[in-house]
Structure 1
């Protein structure tokens, strides 16, 4: 039996702001329980819903040295959900409030605390991992602390580390004096070949330098981040460590996302009844959103953060042209105020064509996956992307830019040999995106049987965690 510890800043079902939470929640459940004892350590945020917090049990508490901050309180809570043991690092000073993240400097201080505490609690809870799997910059200092401050303790000797990059844009960068104060790490850790980054300190870089293996969430993204255009200043380091870098595609939880059993839908369906099922869901959603009830119109969805990374600048440029065609556009998400206001304005001006849901509502997102005919994802970069995987599961055809996980998971439609599961465009260009959307509309309206076969092919794809879990198991086994 191999012991694996996940260290993550968020995890379904307790707390979620993005895809990281889905991975930290689903992957441990997908690993072979007869071969791996997988446990997860998280911050004990006070904003975790009471229905979960009420299940937490107190384990222990102690004082921990944290650099120039002195001795700080570390509480340990635990609970077990669906066969997985979770540990929660309790410190209301750091993890109080109504949301998990906030001011960057404060986040950096609290995740310095979290990373050291995640290691410090292990003797207390009686769990010695063979591999610690660290997720994103919030857990980036775990390998650094392990090698610099715990290496002389026999309990920790021989523990291996994996760092997974979910989004390289976010790295946890601040000035070196502050980082020394928050961590107590020695001067040798802040050299250019370790944490130093343009005269500042970089938490994710530290994790990448000290980790035994690095993974990211798709094969194409693993290649892209070794190029200057996607490398966010770390492409040189990632090229140097390319021998220990691999891309393992994320999966989705097929129990949560299943149109046959999803209780959030107006009507359930499988691949044999997908056309009738989607028509029923579309009609009900049109009523709910006060859109004209038109069973024949092509409904295009966007479930996304409203930021430049997600290609919203391209959408902004062509909205007027796009709305000359026969579509209904339904947006769900929050983000930059300029995009929130943009879609609100278009909804006000074009109520018959645009529904702007400027909040995130999981129930409505599920309904849109089932009701929409196509899902637009024109991302500037996309490490993996889960929206297109869920869309394929629900018979919704993705329209994507060929980047990262979007390129790896959506096969472009070929009308001559009738293959493909979606539509894609290569260049980050608004007109190219618009041409691709118009092409998708032509197939939808003019050759509906071809569209329906494409839907069926998409629904037959397997993007569950099964194959991804096997890849991670192989990685853990390679580490000894």
Structure 2
């Protein structure tokens, strides 16, 4: 039996702001419990729901040296879906209205405290991990602390660490003097080959330098981040550690995202009866959103944060042109004001063709996956991406740019071989995107038989957590202490 500890700043079902929480909460459930005991440690946020807080039981507390003083560390515990979660309690750090705040210095201090506390509780809760699996910059100091002060204690000496990068753009970078003072780490650690980054200190960089293995959330992204364009300043370091770097695509919860049982959609369907039943969801959504009620028109869904990263500058260039075609667009999400207003404008201009829903709703997102014919995701970069996996599951064909996880999970349509599960384009170019949308339109309108065969293939692919879990298990075995 091998013990694995996930250290993360969020995880379902307790707290979620993005895809990281899905990975942390879902992946351990599919790791084989006959061989691995996977547990999770995360902060005890005051903003967790009452329902979730009530599941926590108090274990004990102690005081830990941190930032030149003695800090309170409370330990709570819960068991959900057979997985043990530990929670670090400290009201000063975790009392906000949301998990993350805007004060970068305080965030660095908060997660430096969390990283040290996550290691300090282990002898107290009597759990000795063989591997400590760290997620994103918030836990970047765990491998650093483990190689520094914790090495003196035999309990910690054999532990290996993995650093998983969910999005390289966020690195936890701040003034070097301040970070040195906060962490208590000696000068030795603040050099360009360790934590220093352009004169600042960089927590994610520390994690990458000191971890025994590094993963990211798709094979293509693992290659991309070794280049200057995607590397966010860390490409040289990642290139130097490429033998320890691997990409493993995220999965999605196949029970939660299942068109045959989905509680949010009006008409359930599966790979056998989608030809009859899927269209009824389109009719229901057209009616609900006030779009033209037309079975034959092609509906394109977008569920996303409305930001530059997601390719909305491409859409804004050609949206007017695309709205001249026989298509409907259903958009759901919030983000940058210019994109929110852009979609509001087109919803006003093309009322029966464009529905702009500038908020977030879990129920509406499921309805869009089920009702749409295609799903548009033209990202500038996409470490993994989950929306395209959900759309494949619902037989909604993705139209994506070939980057990161989008390239790894969507097989482009090939009309000569009759293969593919979606449509893709290579260059970050608005007209190339529009041409790809029109290729999809042509197939949808002119060759319905071929379109339906693509849906068959899309619904047959498996991006459940089971597949990803097997690859993580291989890595855990490879890293055997």
Q: In which range does the TM-score fall when normalised by the shorter chain?
A: over 0.9
Residue 92 of structure 2: aligned partner: 93
Residue 184 of structure 2: aligned partner: 184
Per the normalisation by structure 2, the TM-score is 0.98
SS in 2 for 1:301: strand
Residue 32 of structure 2: aligned partner: 32
1:369 corresponds to 2:363: no
Residue 439 of structure 1: aligned partner: 439
SS in 1 for 2:73: strand
Listed one character per residue, the Cα deviations across residues 264-311 of structure 1 (whole Å, up to 9, x for unaligned) are 111111101112222111111112212222111111111111111100
Q: CA deviation at 1:7?
A: 0.7
Listed one character per residue, the Cα deviations across residues 221-251 of structure 1 (whole Å, up to 9, x for unaligned) are 1110001111110000001000100111111
Q: CA deviation at 1:475?
A: 0.7
Q: How do 1:195-210 and structure 2 match up within 5 A? A: 195-210=195-210
SS in 2 for 1:400: strand
SS in 2 for 1:12: coil
Residue 237 of structure 2: aligned partner: 237
Q: CA deviation at 1:433?
A: 0.3
Residue 82 of structure 2: aligned partner: 83
Q: CA deviation at 1:322?
A: 1.1
Residue 226 of structure 2: aligned partner: 226
SS in 1 for 2:151: coil
SS in 2 for 1:316: helix
Separation in 1, partners of 2:252, 2:211: 26
Residue 313 of structure 2: aligned partner: 313
Tell me whether 268-277 or 448-457 shows the greater mean CA deviation. 268-277
Gaps of 5+ in 2: none
Residue 271 of structure 1: aligned partner: 271
Q: How do 1:278-297 and structure 2 match up within 5 A? A: 278-297=278-297
SS in 1 for 2:272: helix
Separation in 1, partners of 2:67, 2:53: 30
Q: CA deviation at 1:191?
A: 1.0
Gaps of 5+ in 1: none
Residue 126 of structure 1: aligned partner: 126
SS in 2 for 1:414: coil
Separation in 1, partners of 2:268, 2:14: 27
Q: How do 1:13-412 and structure 2 match up within 5 A? A: 13-68=13-68, 70-103=69-102, 104-412=104-412
Contact kept? 1:10, 1:24, Cα under 8 Å: yes
Separation in 2, partners of 1:72, 1:282: 55
Contact kept? 1:67, 1:185, Cα under 8 Å: no
Separation in 2, partners of 1:360, 1:449: 34
Q: CA deviation at 1:374?
A: 0.6
Contact kept? 1:165, 1:216, Cα under 8 Å: yes
Separation in 2, partners of 1:425, 1:476: 35
Separation in 2, partners of 1:89, 1:322: 51
Contact kept? 1:67, 1:180, Cα under 8 Å: no
SS in 1 for 2:263: coil
Q: CA deviation at 1:135?
A: 0.5
Separation in 1, partners of 2:128, 2:23: 22
SS in 2 for 1:37: strand
SS in 1 for 2:152: coil
Separation in 2, partners of 1:362, 1:67: 41
SS in 1 for 2:299: strand
SS in 1 for 2:163: strand
Separation in 2, partners of 1:13, 1:323: 39
Report the CA distance shift for 1:276/1:105 in structure 2 as closer, same or farther (over 3 A): farther
Residue 450 of structure 1: aligned partner: 450
Separation in 1, partners of 2:354, 2:286: 11
Structure 1 segments of 4+ aligned residues over 4 angstroms from their partners: none
Separation in 2, partners of 1:356, 1:17: 22
Listed one character per residue, the Cα deviations across residues 76-110 of structure 1 (whole Å, up to 9, x for unaligned) are 11110000001111112211222111212222221
